[in-house]
Structure 1
Amino acid sequence: MSGDLAVPLIIGIAPSAAERRQLAELLGGTQAFLIVASVEQAREFLDAAVPRTAAPVTSGGAAGAAPTAPPEEARDDEPRRPPDLSVDSDRRVLRWLDREVDLTRLEHDFLHRLLGAPGQVWTYERLHQEVWGNEHLGRGSDIHSVVRRVRRKLAGLEATATIHSVRGVGFRLTPA
């Protein structure tokens, strides 16, 4: 059907019914979302929904990385990167207006991901795969430590951006 419009779909994973209800409340304004109890259920859905002839596009080329859509033009209602906030990857610094602060490798890689897709929720699993290069295990204290440091650096620069926690899911960058 050539008249069909593609609608972005968010797939949320929450093991308990209470977490699924909470995630549904968070995603309530989203045009289309699916909440499942496990990664296996999400994979089953994707296997059934995505034609076998389509080659999956993966982010960063990492094995097991989630498929990502090609970049599209931002709509007016989509969050945008805060103006004048950037990461200089050559010098590994965060720049806001005329101020800069040094970043560690993990801070740089974490913030680089979030700045590349403002408003997008990055799951713990995806962040671990793309920033640390391994699977997310345990309670996530390593991610939370990096988030604390980056938040402190953003506040020190008085940048108009913040990192929001999406409880039990991950993080996203939004203009303050």
Structure 2
Amino acid sequence: MRGVAPLVIGIASSPAERRQLARLLGGTEAFLIVSSVDQARKFLDVAGTPHVAPVAVAAPPVAVTAEPAQGAVTPPPTGLSVDSDRRVLRWLDREIELTRLEHDFLRCLLGAPGQVWTYERLHLEVWGNVHLGRGSDMHSVVRRVRHKLARLNASATIHAVRGVGFRLAPL
């Protein structure tokens, strides 16, 4: 359906799982988190979505395997920035050059620090194509960016959220 943004509905029973799910879905255009399948059904009924066919899905409970949920998105460390005109990463008074992919990747993460960027969304934003399941290209960029952050002694790193994507986090 054109012109209609997709809505992702996440179901998590505990407050900790709902916070974790919110962090994981943070890059999604529109999402709703409810605590039960019944709540999701009630929402769909109230929203008047007769074109949505009910689907029975036996989903396992959300596994909270990523880092502990935080109340607010963590701001980037003061002094960490990307100079897009010169394509450099700047930490305090030090700089290091970036490739185009490293630059575009860091701009995404710095634009939403603490937020998890999914593999799919990063592939669209940085590579301009659809993620096909192989992550070697992305992991290579992450490894190089982590190395450059370490060379600058920046107080930030890139955390992997297993099976989901990456986020910028303070050390």
TM-score under structure 1 length normalisation: 0.61
Alignment-derived partner of residue 6 in structure 1: none
The code of the aligned residue for 2:19 comes to T
Deviating above 6 A after TM superposition, structure 1's stretches of 4 or more consecutive aligned residues are 9-12
TM-score under structure 2 length normalisation: 0.62
Distance 1:10 1:159 in 2: 35
Give 1:91 shift. Answer: 0.1
The code of the aligned residue for 1:120 comes to Q
Stretches of structure 1 that go unaligned for 5 or more consecutive residues are: 1-8, 13-20, 36-41, 53-75
Alignment-derived partner of residue 168 in structure 2: 173
**Superposition pairs of residues 64-75 of structure 1, within 5 angstroms:** none
Alignment-derived partner of residue 113 in structure 2: 118
CA deviation map 1:45-102 (0-9, x unaligned):
8xx59x79xxxxxxxxxxxxxxxxxxxxxxx843101100000000000000110000
Distance 2:140 2:128 in 1: 17
Residue number among 82, 85, 104 corresponding to 2:80 in the alignment: 85
The alignment of Structure 1 onto Structure 2 pairs a total of residues equal to 124
Distance 2:8 2:77 in 1: 23
> SS of the residue aligned with 2:151?
helix
User: Percent identity, aligned pairs only?
Assistant: 67
**Superposition pairs of residues 91-170 of structure 1, within 5 angstroms:** 91-170=86-165
Alignment-derived partner of residue 30 in structure 1: 19
- Structure number with bigger Rg: 2
Distance 1:34 1:77 in 2: 10
> SS of the residue aligned with 1:94?
strand
Give 1:139 shift. Answer: 1.7
Alignment-derived partner of residue 4 in structure 2: none
Give 1:34 shift. Answer: 10
Distance 1:34 1:86 in 2: 23
Give 1:28 shift. Answer: 2.9
Distance 2:104 2:114 in 1: 17
